[in-house]
Copies of this chain bind each other. A is one copy, B any other.
Amino acid sequence: MNESELHRIDRSVKRWLHTSREFILKKMEESLNVSEKTGRKDLVTNVDKENEKFLISKIRTFAPDSQILGEEGFGDQIRQTKGWVWVVDPIDGTMNFVKQRDHFAIMIALYIDGQGVLGYIYDVIGDQLLSGGPDLGVFNNDEVLAAPANVSLRDGLICVSGPMVMHNYHNFQTVVETSSGLRIYGSAGIEMIHVLKGETVAYVSYLKPWDFGAGKILAESLGLAVTTVDGKPLDMLSSDFVMVATVQAQQDILPIIGSNV
């Protein structure tokens, strides 16, 4: 795809995201309609659903031949990755959205023929949009985001999901002890932003395709490693334990959890 076409897509996605943000902020003035999905810690609200419908309608108009994978199920059943595939998370960190009214993100990823092309993570309350891809480069709002330094696990902070730490999954307590400290923000998008900006050296959690799609595209564009927790390639349509890390931190983590680099 040539650059002007990429820029055309990029401008459109950003317009949708800004409209989505305004919609969400307006909805936050009303009371939310919250319900449980798989359990009491897996929430969805009317705003998640309405925002997903909005984004999917925009994509359908913009690129009618696309397949769309949406967290809340208003997209398509996707079985193969040929052509344009969009992955939409209308509100990532719904628990934070409900309990904190802050620290959540809108995320969109565009793959073409299985290759990540564009990724978007929009911290709604912080009004901070991470965007771009391998050809466009990565931006923090309008500024070019430099690749983070290749910092070691020992010299960096790490985000690991609460359950992984508590159950010492794959020896992750030792990983945390080796690092400079543990942080948990409760939204894959927000945790990804921290890695992209070099504020943490790794993020590890069990994630679904809409949780990691945008972050994977942005992180790889900045030279970060994005793999399964044991260092294998990620399938863009499957749920898995995902690790986003500096190359050095990944090399530090894999031996601790008993995987070969």
Binding site for B on A (CB under 8 A): 40-41, 95-96, 99-102, 156-157, 162, 165-166, 168, 173, 176-177, 180-186, 194, 199-200
Q: Which 3 pairs from chain A and chain B are nearest by CB?
A: A162-B182, A100-B199, A184-B184
Contact A156 B99, CB 8 Å, known A180-B41, A184-B182, A185-B183: yes
Q: List 16 A-B contacts (CB under 8 A).
A: A99-B181, A99-B199, A100-B157, A100-B199, A157-B186, A162-B176, A165-B165, A165-B166, A166-B168, A166-B173, A166-B177, A181-B186, A182-B184, A183-B184, A183-B185, A184-B184
- Chain B residues closer than 8 Å to A176, beta-carbon distance: 162, 166
Task: Kindly state the separation between the CA atoms of A162 and B101 in the bound complex, as whole angstroms.
Answer: 24
Task: Kindly state the separation between the CA atoms of A181 and B98 in the bound complex, as whole angstroms.
Answer: 12
- Chain B residues closer than 8 Å to A199, beta-carbon distance: 99-102
In the complex, besides A95-B181, A162-B165, 11 extra interface pairs with C-beta distance below 8 angstroms are A99-B157, A99-B181, A99-B199, A100-B194, A157-B186, A162-B181, A162-B182, A165-B165, A166-B166, A183-B185, A183-B186
**Residue in B closest to A201 when the chains form the complex, CB atoms:** B99
Q: How often does this chain occur in the complex, in copies? A: 2
- Chain B residues closer than 8 Å to A168, beta-carbon distance: 166
Taking a contact as CB atoms under 8 Å apart, the answer to whether A95 and B157 are in contact is: yes
**Which residue, of A102, A157, A177, has the highest number of chain B Cβ atoms within 10 A?**
A157
- Chain B residues closer than 8 Å to A102, beta-carbon distance: 199
- Chain B residues closer than 8 Å to A157, beta-carbon distance: 95-96, 99-100, 186
Closest CB in chain B relative to A116 CB, distance in Å: 26
Cβ-defined partner of A41 (8 Å) among B99, B156, B181: B181
- Chain B residues closer than 8 Å to A166, beta-carbon distance: 165-166, 168, 173, 176-177, 182
Taking a contact as CB atoms under 8 Å apart, the answer to whether B95 and A180 are in contact is: yes
- Chain B residues closer than 8 Å to A95, beta-carbon distance: 157, 180-181
- Chain B residues closer than 8 Å to A183, beta-carbon distance: 184-186
- Chain B residues closer than 8 Å to A156, beta-carbon distance: 99
